[in-house]
Amino acid sequence: MDLAALRGCTLSALDTNADIRRQAELQLKQAEATPGFIGALLDIIAADPEPQVRLSAVLYLKNKVIRSWEFNEEFPKNVPISEDEKAAFRERLVPTLASAASPIRQQLMPLIGKVLHYDFPEKWPGYMDITLQLLGSNDIQSVFAGVQCLLSLCRVYRFKQANDKREELDRVTQATFPTLLAIGNRLVDETSTDAGDMLKMIIKTYKHAVYFELAAHLREESSIVPWATLFIKVVGKQAPPESMPEDIEDREAHPWWKAKKWAYSNLNRLFVRYGNPTSITTNNSENYEKFSKHFIQHFAPEILKAYLQQIELWVSKQAWLSKICLSCTITFMDECIKPSATWKHLSPHVENLISHVLFPLLCQTDEDLETFESDPGEYLNRKINLYEEISAPDVAATNFLNTLSKARRKQTFTVLNFINEVVNRYEAAPDDQKNYREKEGALRMIGTLSAIILGKGSPIADQVEYFFVRHVFPEFRSRHGFLRARACDVLEKFSDLDFRDENNVVVIYQNILQCLNDAELPVRVEAALALQPLIRHDFIRTSMQQSIADIMQKLLQLANEVDVDALSNVMEEFVEVFASELTPFAVQLTEQLRDTYLRIIQDVIDKGANSIDDDVDNYLDDKSITALGVLQTIGTLILTLESSPGVLLQLEQVLVPVITVTLEHKLFDLYNEVFEIIDSCTFSAKAISGTMWAVFELIHKSFKDRAEIYIEEMLPALDNYISYGSDMLIQNPTYLAAMFDIISTIFTNERLGAMDRICGCKLAEAVMLNLRGHADQYLPQFVEIAMQCLTAPNEIKSYHPREEWVHDKKLSIVAIVALIQLTPEQIPQSIQPGWPKLMQGIVPLFQSLPLAMKNREEIQKEGLTLDDSYGSDSDNEWEGEAAWNKEGEDADELDIPDESSAYMEFLNNEASARGVLSANWDDEDDDLEEETLLETPLDNIEPYQLFRNALLELQQQQPQIYEGLTKGLSPDEQNVIKGVVHEAEAKKLAADAMAAAVGGMPVNGHQ
C-alpha cells in the first residue's frame, strides 16, 4: 500500500458510515504486514496538511503500538512489529512529538509510555539525552515536548518501588528536576492557557515521581522547600480570567484548575504518605522518620494555613474553588485531625468549618435538585454509589465528620448541637419560611454519624428515638421528594437502633411500604434499601411473608428502572430469608432477573464495542457491578430450591441465555458468579440435564478460548459434571474427550501455574474414581502427565509432611485394596517382588487415620462455631467520658492512632512472617488443607470394612497371595492389621444395629 492509499484509509477509518469504516480498517489491517507501515503512519502524522487525517493516523498508530509492540495475549493474531522497525520508530518518535499540534501530542503520549515500559533504558538509551536537550531549549514548543517526555517516563515508573529498577528514576529526577522546578517557577507567574497546561504537566510529573517512593535527594531541604513552595503558590494563585468560563464543567477542565488540582494533590500526598509520623510503618521508618517529624512540625501547618485562606475566600464568595480543590482541602484537614501537631492548628476552626463549609456542602444544590427531577437515576448513582465519587466535596465532608467524631469524641457534641439548631429552627418556622434544603442537610449529617451515635457506650443513643419521632417521621409526608428520600435513608443508616416503643417500628414499616409506591424513583429506591434491615424484627418479618411476592416485584421493577447494585443485595437477602414463600414464583422471578441481567449486559457490550481504547474483556463499570449483583441473587435463589428438582430444571432453561452471553462475550469479570450458578444448578439437582450438557460444551469452548485462567472458578462445576454426569460421560465419548482435554491443557498451558495444576489433579482424580473401568484409555496419559510434573525441574512440588488428610488417606487405602485384589497374572512380573510392601504401606495409613479424622471433625466444629470475635467495635465505642467531655482537654495533646497505618503495619508484618516461614510453607493450612466442598465417591466409603472384606476374600479365594502379603509383616504391623479388622467388625455391628432400629436392612461393608 502506497502512502496515498494509506492516507485514504486512515481518513476513512473515521467515517461515520459503518461499512466504509469497516472496509478501511480491513485494508489497514492487511497493510500492517507491509515493511515500513508504522513509519508511513509517522510520515502522515508529521506532515499531512489535513488535521483529520493526522488524527486518524495517530489513533490507529497508538492502538497498533499498544497492542503489538510486544506480544499481547489479548490480541494474539496481531502482526508483530519487527526490531528494525522498532529502532527506526524510536528515533523518530520524540521529534514527531516536538513538532506536533496539541491534539496529536495527547495521543502520542500513551504510545511513548508503552514503548518506554518495554524498552527504557536498555533499548532506548538516548531517550534522556533528547529529553534534556528539549528541556534546555530556547523554543517554548521544544520545552513543552521535553516536559511531556519527562512526564511519560515518570508515569511509567510511578508504581515501582526501591527494589524494582527505582534507581533509574532517581537518576532521571536528579538530572531533570532542578530544570523542571525553574521552568515551573517561571510559569506560575504567567496567565496564558498554554502556561497553565505546561505547569500542570510539571506538577503531574512530580506526582508520578513521588507516588510510591520519595527519593532521598527529594527529601533534602534544598528540594522539598522550593517544590512545596511552588505548590502552595499555585494553590494561592488567583485564577486567570480565561480560566473562568461560564460553564462550570469547562472551568473544572481548564489547565489552570488542573494545575491547582495537582498542586493540592501533591501537597496532600507528601503529608499523608511521607510527612505524618503516625502513618509511617516500621518497614520504611528508617527512610522517612526524620523527614516526617520535620514535615509535620514545619510544612503541614503552612499547608493548612494556605488551605484555610482559600476556604475563607470561598466562603465569602471572593473566590471560586473547583470541586476537586474543595475535596482536597477537606481531605487534608481530615488528615490533620489525629496528629496533635496539626490538630492544635485545626481545632480553633472546627466550628466555623462545620457551619460554613461542611454543612453547605452536605445540603442539596440547585444542580442536585434539577438532577432529582430530570435524571433521578443519575441522582441515585450520585447519592448512593459514593465510592464512585471519592473526589466529591460532600463525600470528603462526610469523611471529615466521621474522623472528627471518632478521633475527637467531644467534637461529636459540636456537630450534634449544630444539627439540633438547624432542625429546631426548621420546626419553629412557618411553612412558607421553612428551609427544606437545610433540613435535608441536617438529616444527612446525622445519618453520617449513625455508627458513632449508636456505638458501644454511647451516652446519646437513647435520645435518637425521640429525635426520629420528632424530626424524621414528619418528613415521610413532606411535599419534597428529596426529603422523603432522605427520611428513608436516615432510617436505613440507623437500622441497628433498638426502639423502646414497638409502635414506632410499625410506623416506620408502614411509611416505608408507602414510600415503596412513591411517585419519585429516588424515594422508592431509598425505601427499598431501608426495608431490608427491618426484617430483623420478628413481627415485621412475619408481616412481610404475606406480601413478599409483591415486594419482590417492586424491587425487580426498580432494578429495571435504575442500575443501583445495592438493590441486588436487598433482593438476594429477601430470596434467602423468604425462600419458601418465593418458591411458587421462582421461575417467574428468575425470568425477570434474567431479563434484567441481559438488559444491563447489552449496555456493557455496546459501550465496550463503541470504545476506541477500552477492550470489552476488561470493561467494568457500575452496570457491570449491578449485573454481578443480579447473578448473585440468581445463585442464592437456586440454592434455596435444592428440594425442588422440577423447578430447577425449568430454571436451567431460563438461565441458558445468561450463561451464554457471559461466556461468548468473554465478560471475565462476571465469570466467577456465572460458574457459581452452573455449580449451584448441577449440585442442587444432583444430576446433569440435557440443557446443562449443552452448557458444558460452551464451557469447554470458552476454556480453550483464553478462559483457561479461570479453571479454579470452573472446578466445582466441572467436578459436578463428572460426579453427577458419569453415565453420560461413559455413553458419550465426545464429552469425556473434552473433559480430558481440559485436564491435559491445565498441565501444558504456559498461562497456568501450580495452583491451577492442583485443579487438574482434582479433576483427574474425579474421573478415575467416578468412571472406574470406563476411562482406562486415558490412564497412560494421566500417568505421563504425573511423571512429567514430578520430573520437571521448575515445577513446584507441594505436599504435606504430616499427611493428616482424611481424603488422601482414604484414597491411598482404596488404591492399595484394589491392587491387592489383582490376580497373579494381572501383576507385571517386574514388580511382583515388591508386592508385599503394599501391606506394609497400608499399616501407617490406618495408624494415622483416626487422628486425621479427629482433626477434621475439630476443624468442622470450629467452622460451625466460628464467631466474629476478631472484629472490633473499638472505632465506634465511647471510651469513657474523658474522651468527649471538657474534662478530657489533655486528649487534644495526644496523637490518635491511625487505623489505616496500623492495618498496613499488620500486612507488612504478615508479609515478613510469611517470608521467614517460606521454608516451612508446607506446614501452613493456607495452601494445603483438608478437602471441603467437592464431593467424591470416597465420601461414601468406610475404609475399615472395605479392607476387612477384601482381606477375608483374599484369604479365602487367593490364599497364596494372602500368604505372600502378610508373611513379611512384623509383630507390630500384624497387630495393626488385627486392630483394623476388629474395628471393621465393630463398625459393622453398630451399623447393623442402627439399620435394625429403623427397620432397615444390614449395611453392606462394600458400599
Which residues of the chain have a pLDDT value below 50? 610-620, 796-804, 864-875, 886-888, 907, 910-933, 1000-1007
- The pLDDT assigned to 913 comes to 47
Q: How far apart (Å, rounded) are the C-alpha atoms in residues 640 and 581? A: 11
Residue entry with cell 506394609: 840
| pTM listed for this prediction | 0.77
Residue 129 φ/ψ, nearest 5 degrees = -60, -45
With residue 211 as reference, give the H or E element that holds it: none
Instruction: Using alpha carbons, select from 458, 528, 525 the residue that is nearest to residue 496.
Output: 458
Q: How far apart (Å, rounded) are the C-alpha atoms in residues 137 and 143? A: 6
CB burial of residue 606 (10 Å; 0-12, 13-18, 19+)? exposed
Instruction: Using alpha carbons, select from 111, 99, 124, 116 the residue that is nearest to residue 45.
Output: 99
- The pLDDT assigned to 879 comes to 54
Residue entry with cell 455449580: 679
Q: How far apart (Å, rounded) are the C-alpha atoms in residues 575 and 582? A: 7
- The pLDDT assigned to 819 comes to 75
DSSP secondary structure, 620-663, as one string: --HHHHHHHHHHHHHHHHHHTTTT-HHHHHHHHHHHHHHHHHHH
Q: How far apart (Å, rounded) are the C-alpha atoms in residues 395 and 386? A: 7
- The pLDDT assigned to 254 comes to 97
Side-chain-facing half-sphere of 99: CA atoms under 13 Å: 12
Between 645-664 and 622-639, two packed helices, what is the crossing angle to 10 degrees? 160
Q: Are 170 and 217 in contact (CB under 8 A)?
A: yes
Q: Are 848 and 803 in contact (CB under 8 A)?
A: yes
Q: How far apart (Å, rounded) are the C-alpha atoms in residues 525 and 872? A: 31
CA 738 to chain centre: 32
Give the type of residue at 370. Answer: E
Between 411-428 and 393-407, two packed helices, what is the crossing angle to 10 degrees? 120
Q: How far apart (Å, rounded) are the C-alpha atoms in residues 28 and 13? A: 9
- Exposure string for 715-737, b = 16+ CB within 10 A, e = fewer: bbbbbbbbbbbbebbeeeeebbe
Cis peptide, bond prior to residue 360, ω within 30 of zero: no
Instruction: Using alpha carbons, select from 14, 5, 75, 7 the residue that is nearest to residue 612.
Output: 14
Q: Where are the alpha helices (DSSP H) in 725-820?
A: 726-731, 733-748, 754-770, 779-791, 806-820
Q: Are 819 and 913 in contact (CB under 8 A)?
A: no
- The pLDDT assigned to 2 comes to 65
Residue 599 φ/ψ, nearest 5 degrees = -65, -45
